[in-house]
Amino acid sequence: MAAKPQKMPKVAKVKDKSPAEIQITSEQMLREAKERDLEIVPPPPKQKISDPEELQEYRLKKRKSFEDNIRKNRGNISNWLKYSKWEEEQGEIRRARSVYERALDVDHRSITLWLKYAEMEMRSRQVNHSRNVWDRAVTILPRANQFWYKYSYMEEMLRNIAGAREVFERWMAWEPDEQAWMTYIKFELRYKELDRARAIYERFVYVHPDPKNWIKYARFEENHGYINGARRVYERAIEFFGDENLEETLFIAFAKFEENQKEHDRTKTIYRYALDHMPKEKCLVLYNEYTKHEKKYGDKSSIDDVITSKRKFQYEEALKENSHDYDTWFDYIRMMEADGNVELTRGVYERAIACVPPIKGQAIGMCPKNKLFRGYIDLEIKLREFDRCRKLYEKWIEFDTENCKTWIQFSTLESMLNDIDRARGIYELAVSQQRLDMPEFLWKSYIDFETELEEWDRVRNLYERLLERTSHVKVWISYAKSQLSIPSPDASVCARSIFQRANKCLRGSSEKEQRLMLLEAWLGFEKEYGSSEYEEKVEALMPKKVTKRRQITTDDGTQTRWEEYIDYVFPDDQAAKPSLLLLAKAKQWAKQRQEEEEEIEEKQQEVEDENMEDLDKDDSDVEIGSTGSSSSSSDEEENEVKEEKSKSKRDRKRLKT
C-alpha cells in the first residue's frame, strides 16, 4: 500500500501588512514587564542543615568561595568585608578577626576597614580588642576624625571618663578643626567640669585665633554667670588682634554684652573706640548699631554726635574718591566748625589747603593732549578769562593743526563774543590748511556761519571755492538748496541753473549713482518750486536701469566667476546712444510684428466664417465637384494660416532673445 503524500502545514496569511498606528518598542516591553512583575525570579530554596558534618561541609564550601574571590581580586575591600561579616554571623570571631588583619595587611589606610573592624569587636563586646583597634587606627591615621569621635564615644559609654578625656587630649595634640574642640568642651560640660572647659577654651582661642571663637569663649563665661570673666575675655581679644586686625563683629558683640549689663557708658566708649581705630570702610554695620543704641539710651547731644560722626565718615569717603572736590571740603569744614572742636577743624583746613589743584598750564607744556586742552579751556571760560582762552586755542592749533573740531570751536568762541571778523579770519586760516582730518565739517560750519549772518555773496563764493576742490554731488545739492533761502524772486532760477551746471559737470563722471542722486534732487525741486515743463525735461534726463554681467578679477590678476550688477543708462550719454537706438528699433520691429499678427488673425477669422456659411447651405444645391474644390481651397487656406502662426511664433522667440 503506497504511503499517502504528507500535507504541508498551512501558513498563516497576514492580510494587513501595514505598520500599526501605535508602535511598541523593546524598551517599553521590558518596562511593562518590570511593572507587572513578570521578570521576578523566585528566591533560591533555603538549605536546611541537619547535622554537624553537613554544616562543616557548607562552611568549607563558603570559605573556599570567599578565598577564591580574594585570590582573584586581592585589592577589593568589599570581598574582605563580606568574608569577615560571614564569619561573624557564624560566630567565628577569631576567624573574622583574622580576615580583618589580613585585609589590613593589604590596605592599612582604608578608613572603612578600620571602622568595620572596631565595630565588629564592639558588637562582640570585646572591649580590650576594640581599644586595641582604635588605638592602632588613630596612630596610623591621626587626621581621620571619625576614629577619634567613635573612640571617645566608646570610652564615654563604658563610663571610662578618664579614658575618654585621655583620648580627647591625644586628639587635641594634633590641633584638629574647631568642631573637635567644641566636642571636647561639650564633653566636659556634660560632667560639670567648668574649669576644664575654660582651660580648653584658653587653648582653643590660640590654636584657632578667630574673632568668633573669642566671642564663643566670652559667651561661655557670660552664660555661666562669670560677667567679669567675660569682660576680660573681650578685652584680651581686642588686645590680641591689635589695631591692625580688628573686626567689627568683635566690637559689636562686646558692646551688646555691656548693653545687656546696663553699662551704657561702657557701650558708648566701645563704639567710639572702634570708630576711631578701625578703617572707615569696615564700620558700616558698626555705625548702624551705634545709632540704634544712642536712639534707645542716649540724649540729644549723643545722638548729634553719632550723626556727626556718620556724616564725617561720608565726607571722608567722598574726599577719598576726589580730593579736589572743594564743595565737599567746604561742607566738611562748616560741619566741624558747628561741632566746636577747634583742633579737628584746624586739621581739616590744613588738609584742604594741602590739596592744591594741578596746574594745567604746566601739564600742557609737559604733556600736551587734546583732553587736557579742552579741560583747561572750559575752566578759563567758567572764569570768564577769554584772552587766556584765545591763547590756549592758539597753542592747541599749533599742537594739532589738522584737528577741524578745534578750528570750529575757536571760531564759535569768537562768534559768541561778537567778534565776527576774527571768527571769519579763523575760518579762512582753517580752510587754507593743506591737511585736515574732517574738511567737509569745517566747510559746512563756515558756510553755516555765513548763512546765519545772511552774507549771501560770501555763501556763493564759499560754494564756488569748495567746488574748485571737489565736485561731490552733495555739495551741488546743498549749493542749489542754499539759493532758495535767499529772499529774492530769482532764487528758483539760480537754483535751477546750479542744477544744470551740476548735471553738465557730472555727465562725464564714472559715478553714475551721484548723477542719479542729483537728478532725483532736481526733480524734487521742480515738483515743489518749478513748472510741469521743467519737470518733464528733468524726467527725460532720468536714466534707465540695466542689469549687466561682468567677470570678477582677483588680486593676483586671474579672472573667476561672473556677477550681475546694476548700471544706469542716461539718454544724453553719447556712449549710450547706439544702444538706445537699437532698443528703439527693436521696439518698432516688435510693434510691426504685432500688427501683422493681428492681420493674420483677422484673415483666419474671415475664413472660418466663410466655412461656416458653406456648411449651412443645402446639400442639394452644392455639386460634388464644386464641393471638392471648395474643400481643397479651404485646406490650402488653413495650411497658410498654420504657417503664418508658426512663423509669428518664431519671430516672437527671436524678438525675445
List Cα–Cα distances, 419 to 380, 397, 425, 443, in angstroms. 18, 19, 10, 19
28 in a structural domain: no
272 in a structural domain: no
More confident residue, 487 or 360: 487
More confident residue, 304 or 129: 129
Q: Which cell numbers in the block locate residue 320?
A: 577719598
- What's the confidence (pLDDT) of residue 617? 47
Residue 275: name the closest of 306, 245, 318 by CA.
306
309 in a structural domain: yes
Strand, helix or coil for residue 549: strand
371 in a structural domain: yes
Confidence check: pLDDT of 625 > 50: no
Chain segment 184-210, per-residue pLDDT in tens: 999 999 999 999 999 999 999 999 988
CA distance 483 to 481: 5
185 in a structural domain: no
In this prediction, residue 232 has a pLDDT band, given cuts at 50, 70 and 90, of: very high
CA distance 232 to 257: 12
- What's the confidence (pLDDT) of residue 301? 61
Q: Which cell numbers in the block locate residue 336?
A: 566741624
Chain segment 54-77, per-residue pLDDT in tens: 888 888 888 898 888 888 888 888
Chain segment 433-450, per-residue pLDDT in tens: 888 888 888 888 888 888
Question: How wide is the angle at C-alpha 357 spanned by C-alphas 355 and 358, nearest 5°?
Answer: 125
For residues 276-295, b (16+ Cβ closer than 10 Å) or e, as one string?
Answer: eebeeeebeebbebbbebbe
CA distance 309 to 282: 14
Name the helix (H) or strand (E) containing 112. helix 111-123
Name the helix (H) or strand (E) containing 82. helix 77-89
Tell me the DSSP string of 317-342: HHHHH-TT-HHHHHHHHHHHHHHT-H
Q: What are the backbone angles phi and psi of residue 74, rounded to the nearest 5°? A: -70, -30
Name the β-bridge partners of 548: 565
378 in a structural domain: yes
Segment of 37-41, 121-125, 544-548 carrying the highest mean pLDDT: 121-125
Q: State the average pLDDT over residues 414-431.
A: 87
Question: What's at 487, amino acid-wise?
Answer: P
Domain count, the chain: 1
Question: What's at 438, amino acid-wise?
Answer: M
329 in a structural domain: yes
Q: Which domain holds residue 319?
A: 299-355+366-385
CA distance 292 to 85: 64
Q: Which cell numbers in the block locate residue 60?
A: 568549607
Name the β-bridge partners of 559: 553
pTM over 0.75: no
35 in a structural domain: no
